[in-house]
């Protein structure tokens, strides 16, 4: 694994499915919603791939064929359930904590660009990862647009004070790669996330990786690079 052709000024990450594995928590909220509505719950395997697409996709997996208006009416209750149990089942993906610590030690700024609503992002981070200190956090409603639009990625670079041309964007969804590429960052697709049922090799990322340790090496902060 070679290192980047430049020393990165910033590294920006998607949140759910890239840094944090929140699928079990989002699924647990769906189970409660299904129970309240008297609906048999779907298997976890049906829900996990779509969690990066947010609450509507998750509810749709549990209520197949539901009328779009009826689905929208369930969203506030689903989010209320999720927020109430937030961080109870969320875990950090293997290798991510050492990677972020290595970036901090190397003086490389890092941040988060997520499509998650800001009120949920702001509640989750201090509960699940109070030791993290990102240089920028951009949520799905920080700007009028969200990924795959490049504006949130560029906004994160501006907040962190990083040149997009010397920065990296990492994600587990095609929208992450589209946004990062359009913003002019070096893009990394990761196989350990949810993938939305897609093939990361087909998304046009500069690199596709299997583990956070490989990302550390690529960024020049891993044991191999050292």
Task: Of 162, 147, 151, 72, give the one whose Cα is nearest residue 115.
Answer: 147
Give SS3 for 194. coil
- Check whether the bond before 54 is cis (ω within 30° of 0): no
Degrees (nearest 5) of the Cα angle 144, 205, 107? 75
Burial of 91 (C-beta count, 10 Å sphere; 0-12/13-18/19+)? middle
Say if residues 123 and 88 touch (Cβ distance below 8 Å): no
Name the token pair of 43: 């298997």
In the annotation, is 69 catalytic?
A: no
Residue of 14, 16, 21, 173 marked active site: 14
Cβ count within 10 A of residue 220: 18
Which residues are part of the catalytic machinery? 14
């Amino acid at each position: 694994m070679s290192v980047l052709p430049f020393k990165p000024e910033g590294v920006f990450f998607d949140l759910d499915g890239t840094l944090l594995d929140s699928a079990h928590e989002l699924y647990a909220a769906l189970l409660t919603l299904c129970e309240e509505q008297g609906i048999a719950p779907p298997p976890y395997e049906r829900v996990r791939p779509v969690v990066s697409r947010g609450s509507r996709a998750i509810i749709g997996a549990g209520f197949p064929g539901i009328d779009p208006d009826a689905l929208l009416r369930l969203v506030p209750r689903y989010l209320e359930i999720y927020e109430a149990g937030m961080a109870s089942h969320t875990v950090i993906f293997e290798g991510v904590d050492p990677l972020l610590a290595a970036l901090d030690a190397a003086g490389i700024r890092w941040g988060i660009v997520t499509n998650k609503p800001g009120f949920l992002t702001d509640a989750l981070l201090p509960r699940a990862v109070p030791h993290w200190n990102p240089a920028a956090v951009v949520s799905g409603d920080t700007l009028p647009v969200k990924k795959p639009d490049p504006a949130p990625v560029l906004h994160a670079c501006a907040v962190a004070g990083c040149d997009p041309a010397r920065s990296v964007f990492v994600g587990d969804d095609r929208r992450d790669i589209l946004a990062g590429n359009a913003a002019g960052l070096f893009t990394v697709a990761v196989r350990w996330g949810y993938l939305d049922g897609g093939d990361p090799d087909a998304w046009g990322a500069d690199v596709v990786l299997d583990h956070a340790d490989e990302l550390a090496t690529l960024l020049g902060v891993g044991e191999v690079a050292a």
